[in-house]
């Protein structure tokens, strides 16, 4: 108590006896120091993304460029690759990336994944101007851990908000309506314009990509969502190398409108429509739908498990396959005629059906 009183008296005397601004740095808490350090080190990696579309007027022949929206992104590496949300650049004819120093560059989309709401852009900027983020490990997150979001909400560039991990393992719908799994929920304020920006831990490491909010008003209500960095680390290299995620194939075709037919037939799993000839699935004896002599459709195999992981629908099916590569062999369990069947299937490259 005496020490605190001495500091306050000293501060008062300094203020009264001098016109200089007092030094408040001695009153910073460890948490404040951490926030300031993270902002200074990571904010150079955060970029502003604006996009526009070319629209042809009914009364004019020349197309006009119309601003479509803005968002946030971050530098993935010094080669000029920028990561953001797919919905930030969706349907854009022109995308511009602005670095923290104000330099702007035209960007091209090198790869997109609507299922995970991720996109990778490329800009031609000197590597000396590019500061890459440091990816962390989202599997180490716990509810209550501090997280920091940096982005451009409502066009206000390089804004930082602080919160905690509110929940883990959430699911949200992507642009393609497919479920994004293991999403991070946070109460760090995330508003329109924050999409595509980094969510950071107390070490300044990337742990997620801010992608959505739950809000009746459209502004932050304390419920924001981020795609986990472990998903980002798996997807982004494939988008850079191939332009899309290289999900291997099982050699089957799935039935369209699967939810409807699952309800009609009272089954769970992925209904096999047919099996491609010359594949391991065909050689192992997997079957698709058939017709009886009376024209009645008869179910074939329904995939319920792959390598010990339950498969209840097409989202589960895709999530499991994305964990593997072409050439690997997986154990597939199906139900047919009320009996379980098991197959060892070598996965095919995406271009092989």
For residue 111, give the CATH number of its domain.
2.40.10.10
The residues, ordered by sequence, that sit 6+ positions from 275 with a Cβ below 8 Å of its Cβ are 251, 252, 253, 281, 282, 286, 287, 288
The answer to whether position 286 is within a domain reads yes
Active site residue 117: yes
Handedness of CA 69, 71, 77, 78 (dihedral sign): positive
- According to the model, what pLDDT value does residue 297 have? 87
Residue 218, pLDDT > 80, answer no
**Which of 96, 129, 162 is the C-terminal boundary of a domain?**
129
Which range (74-83, 152-161, 279-288) has the least confidence?
152-161
Of 212 and 342, the structure prediction assigns the larger pLDDT to: 342
The mean pLDDT value for 150-162 works out to 87
- According to the model, what pLDDT value does residue 114 have? 94
**How sure is the predictor about 17, in pLDDT bands with cuts at 50, 70 and 90?**
very low
Active site residue 87: yes
193 within 8 A of 155, measured Cβ to Cβ = yes
The single-letter DSSP state of residue 299 is: -
Count how many domains the chain has.
2
The answer to whether position 170 is within a domain reads no
What average pLDDT is seen over the chain? 86
The answer to whether position 211 is within a domain reads no
Residue 153, pLDDT > 90, answer no
Looking at 113, 115, 117, 319, which residue is catalytic?
A: 117
This prediction's pTM: 0.81
Residue 353, pLDDT > 70, answer no
Query: What are phi and psi for residue 50, nearest 5 degrees?
Result: -120, 145
The single-letter DSSP state of residue 236 is: H
The mean pLDDT value for 262-270 works out to 91
Active site residue 195: yes
Residue 56, pLDDT > 90, answer no
- According to the model, what pLDDT value does residue 21 have? 55
316 within 8 A of 333, measured Cβ to Cβ = no
Residue 340, pLDDT > 60, answer yes
The mean pLDDT value for 237-243 works out to 95
- Tens digit of pLDDT for each residue in 292-305? 878 788 899 999 99
Q: How many CB atoms lie within 10 A of CB 205?
A: 18
The answer to whether position 164 is within a domain reads no
Residue 264, pLDDT > 60, answer yes
Residue 64, pLDDT > 70, answer no
What range defines the domain where residue 314 resides?
A: 252-352
Looking at 195, 281, 315, 316, which residue is catalytic?
A: 195
The answer to whether position 186 is within a domain reads no
- According to the model, what pLDDT value does residue 350 have? 83
**Which of 129, 150, 184 is the C-terminal boundary of a domain?**
129
The residues, ordered by sequence, that sit 6+ positions from 171 with a Cβ below 8 Å of its Cβ are 179, 180, 181, 183
Structure tokens at 298: 């008869």
CA distances from 192 to 14, 70, 77, 207 (A): 44, 9, 25, 20
- According to the model, what pLDDT value does residue 18 have? 47
The mean pLDDT value for 254-258 works out to 89
Q: How many CB atoms lie within 10 A of CB 127?
A: 11
The answer to whether position 139 is within a domain reads no
Residue 289, pLDDT > 70, answer yes
Query: What are phi and psi for residue 269, nearest 5 degrees?
Result: 120, -175
The mean pLDDT value for 8-31 works out to 56
In this prediction, what percent of the chain has a pLDDT beyond 70? 84
Residue 130, pLDDT > 50, answer yes
198 within 8 A of 185, measured Cβ to Cβ = no
**Which of 129, 144, 165 is the C-terminal boundary of a domain?**
129
**How sure is the predictor about 92, in pLDDT bands with cuts at 50, 70 and 90?**
confident
Structure tokens at 191: 């508003």
Residue 1, pLDDT > 70, answer no
The mean pLDDT value for 204-215 works out to 86
Which range (64-68, 159-163, 234-238, 240-244) has the least confidence?
64-68
Structure tokens at 281: 């699935």
Which range (44-58, 162-176, 209-223, 254-268) has the least confidence?
209-223
Q: Residue 283's domain is classified under what CATH number?
A: 2.30.42.10
- According to the model, what pLDDT value does residue 65 have? 46
Of 86 and 16, the structure prediction assigns the larger pLDDT to: 86
- According to the model, what pLDDT value does residue 12 have? 46
The answer to whether position 177 is within a domain reads no
- According to the model, what pLDDT value does residue 42 have? 96
Looking at 45, 70, 87, 220, which residue is catalytic?
A: 87
Of 176 and 352, the structure prediction assigns the larger pLDDT to: 176
The answer to whether position 173 is within a domain reads no
């Amino acid at each position: 108590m005496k020490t605190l009183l001495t500091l306050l008296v000293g501060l008062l005397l300094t203020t009264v006896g001098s016109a200089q601004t007092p030094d408040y740095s001695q009153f910073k808490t460890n948490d404040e120091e951490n926030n300031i350090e993270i902002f200074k080190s990571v904010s150079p990696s955060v970029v502003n993304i604006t996009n526009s579309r070319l629209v042809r007027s009914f009364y004019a022949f020349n197309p006009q460029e119309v601003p479509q929206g803005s968002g946030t992104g971050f530098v993935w590496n010094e080669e000029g690759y920028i990561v953001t949300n797919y919905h930030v650049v969706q349907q854009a004819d022109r995308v511009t990336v602005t670095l923290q120093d104000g330099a702007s560059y035209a960007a091209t989309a090198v790869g997109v994944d609507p299922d995970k709401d991720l996109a990778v852009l490329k800009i031609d900027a000197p590597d000396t101007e590019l500061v890459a983020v440091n990816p962390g490990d989202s599997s180490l997150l716990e509810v209550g851990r501090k997280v920091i979001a940096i982005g451009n909400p409502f066009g206000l560039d390089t804004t930082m908000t602080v919160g905690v991990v509110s929940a883990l393992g959430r699911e949200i719908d992507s642009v393609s309506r497919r479920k994004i799994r293991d999403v991070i929920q946070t109460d760090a304020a995330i508003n329109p314009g924050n999409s595509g920006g980094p969510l950071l831990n107390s070490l300044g490491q990337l742990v997620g990509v801010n992608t959505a909010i739950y809000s009746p008003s459209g502004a932050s209500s304390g419920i924001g969502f981020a795609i986990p960095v472990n998903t980002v680390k798996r997807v982004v290299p494939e988008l850079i190398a191939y332009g899309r995620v290289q999900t291997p194939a099982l050699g089957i075709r799935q039935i369209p409108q699967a939810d409807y037919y699952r309800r009609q037939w009272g089954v769970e799993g992925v209904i096999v429509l047919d099996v491609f000839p010359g594949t391991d699935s065909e050689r192992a004896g997997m079957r698709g739908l058939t017709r009886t002599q009376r024209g009645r459709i008869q179910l074939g195999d329904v995939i319920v498990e792959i390598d010990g992981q339950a498969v209840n629908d097409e989202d589960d099916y895709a999530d499991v396959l994305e964990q593997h590569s072409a050439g690997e062999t997986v154990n597939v369990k199906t139900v047919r005629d009320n009996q379980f069947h098991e197959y060892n299937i070598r996965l095919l490259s995406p271009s092989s059906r």
